[in-house]
């Protein structure tokens, strides 16, 4: 399957659960800007799709708002931190459920929580975190990334 066909299928699947439109200030309503396909993201399993909703230089931090989509059960973003980029992150679960994991350092105890629609997880810049889709439905997260001053 070619990329465009694969992405059209992805958008059709996601559109069953959310309206993928952005209304930027003083601009026309539009859909996503770009889809990033990340295989084995941060050492995780499967594919994570990042739907970028804002164009480069449209916001102070281009990564500030993106949909993170784990389409299939078992798809996972592996443990990672944003410390090298000095960013914090917020996950807002829009659809589905997932096992969220966090730890304070490489060798620290892993804390696990089930996140479901409406839950919010807040990740500090040096916190290691991962998420895995544990459901047959897509796990759709709106990820908000901020720069630490």
What pLDDT is recorded for position 1? 58
pLDDT of residue 98: 97
What CATH number is given to the structural domain containing 77? 2.60.120.10
Give the pLDDT confidence score for residue 102 in this predicted structure: 95
Give the per-residue pLDDT at 74. Answer: 94
Rounded to whole angstroms, the Cα distance separating 66 from 115 reads: 18
102 phi and psi angles, rounded to 5 deg: -145, 155
pLDDT at 149: 60
Expressed as residue numbers, the domain containing 35 is 3-147
Determine the pLDDT at residue 82. 80
Nearest to 102 by CA among 126, 118, 119, 85: 126
Query: Distance between CA 87 and CA 72 in Å, rounded?
Result: 27
Mind listing the pLDDT tens digit of every residue in the chain (149 residues)? 578 899 999 999 999 999 988 888 888 999 888 899 999 999 999 999 999 888 777 776 655 778 889 889 999 999 988 877 778 889 999 999 999 999 987 788 999 999 999 999 999 888 899 999 999 999 999 998 887 66
Residue 26 phi, psi dihedral angles, 5° rounding: 60, 25
pLDDT of 110: 94
Quickly tell me which residue has 């839950």 as its tokens. 119
pTM: 0.89
Q: How many domains does the chain have?
A: 1
């Amino acid at each position: 399957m070619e990329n465009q066909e694969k992405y059209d299928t992805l958008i059709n699947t996601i559109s069953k659960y959310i309206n993928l439109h952005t209304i930027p200030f003083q601009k026309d309503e539009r859909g996503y800007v770009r889809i990033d396909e990340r295989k084995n993201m941060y050492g995780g399993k499967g594919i994570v799709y990042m739907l970028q909703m804002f164009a480069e230089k449209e916001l102070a931090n281009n990564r500030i708002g993106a949909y993170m989509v784990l389409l299939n059960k078992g798809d996972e973003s592996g443990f990672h931190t944003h410390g090298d980029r000095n960013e914090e992150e917020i996950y807002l679960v829009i659809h589905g459920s997932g096992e969220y994991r966090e730890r304070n350092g490489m060798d620290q105890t892993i804390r696990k929580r089930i996140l479901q629609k409406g839950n919010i997880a807040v990740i500090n810049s040096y916190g290691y975190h991962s998420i895995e889709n544990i459901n047959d439905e897509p796990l759709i997260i709106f990820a908000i990334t901020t720069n630490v001053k």
